[in-house]
Each structure stands twice: as structure tokens, then as C-alpha cells.
Amino acid sequence: MQNKEQSSCSTQRINSFTQIDEIAKERRKSFFGGDEVRYVEPMIDIIFPSVAFPSNKIFKAIGQEKIREMVWHHHELLLKTKVGRLFPANEEAFKMAVDKSADFFVEALGGGDIFTSIHGEPKLRARHFKIPIDENDREIWLSMYKKTLKEIEFPREHLEEFWNWIEPLSIRMINRRTSMQNIKRHYWNNVRISF
């Protein structure tokens, strides 16, 4: 198996399920039950793109309190969407979840280890495994962030750096695939006009 993986690499081709129609066209003819065993190559699903973790510029510009306000605002918007079902129904538990998320955002933006000192490594993908998160949940999460950034008047000069972090980061939380399609990207260049 290792050989196969490496060889598809050395030819600069990693087959992905998102290419499946193309691959099928190449070689479907009389596929099944020939005289010999037939090998279908290893595949990957999606490639989770690079994530640009922000510098401390945002924290220096807006501070802890504004970051917490942002995370709360976002979660209040999420509650009104179908992603809301993924959060604890109990009010106290919900509050704890949002505060924890806010701790993470503060730390990630340069406000000190207030998350990791209590909860350990972020391991965001692993932390979200207990909740099924599909491609559409991620679309909603991201679009509610867009709305949040507008509504809280996040400083315009730092929007790009922030967006370039959360946009690819959110892809890493997807743990339930419902389609062969690649994950939709929302690049800053296409999103900036909505701010």
C-alpha cells in the first residue's frame, strides 16, 4: 500500500473522491468480474487547506473584551440557524461552551494561554468529533461570522487577516461528509466586497 501511495505522489497525482467522475470516465468499461482481480487506486477525500494563524495585531487592536463580544455575538446568531441544534440546550452548559470558545479565540489572537492552561492543547478537530458537522454546517458557521464581523464593526484593516484564518480553519471541523464535492472556498478576494 505504501508503494501505491508514494507512486501516486511521485507522479504529482493524488486521486481524490472529488475527481471521481473524471476517473470513472477513464476506465469504467467492463469493470466488474473479469478474469483477473482488478485494483482500484488509493484515494483521499478532501485536502484540508493551509491555515494562516493570525499575528497579535488583532488582539493589540481590539483587546480581550471585544474578542469575547465577537464570539458571543456569533454564537447568538448560530442559535437562530440549524447549527443551533449542535449546542447544549441547557443555558448554563451553553454559556460554558461559549466562554470556552471565547477563551480559545483570545489565546489564538495573542492574549496569553487562558485556554491551553486550563483545557490543554486546542485539538479543535478532535474536540468537535462528538458533534456531527457537515459541509453545510460549516457554510452557516462561516456566514454567521461574516454577519458578526459586520455587526460588531470589526476593524476593517484587520478583517483580511482574521478571515484568512477562520475560513480554512472552519474546514477542519468537518467530520461528516454528505457529498463528493470539494469543500467550497470563500476567499477574501471574493468576500471583501460584502464588508
CB of 55 to a second copy, least distance (A): 5
Instruction: Output 50-54 pairs: Cβ under 8 A, ≥24 positions apart.
Output: 50/168, 51/165, 51/168, 51/169, 51/172, 52/161, 52/164, 52/165, 52/168, 53/108, 53/165, 54/108, 54/109, 54/110, 54/161, 54/162, 54/164, 54/165
Q: At residue 34, what is the residue type?
A: G
The count of other CB atoms within 10 Å of the CB of residue 144 is 20
- Residue 55 or 90 with smaller CB distance to a second copy: 55
- Residue 43 or 79 with smaller CB distance to a second copy: 43
Q: Which residues bind a second copy (CB under 8 A)?
A: 1, 4-6, 9-10, 12, 14, 17, 20, 24, 28, 31-56, 59, 107-111, 121, 123, 125-126, 129-130, 132, 161, 164, 172, 175-180
CB of 84 to a second copy, least distance (A): 19
Q: Are 51 and 14 in contact (CB under 8 A)?
A: no
- Residue 84 or 110 with smaller CB distance to a second copy: 110
CB of 190 to a second copy, least distance (A): 15
Question: Bridge-partner residues for 150, per DSSP?
Answer: none
- Residue 81 or 175 with smaller CB distance to a second copy: 175
CB of 76 to a second copy, least distance (A): 25
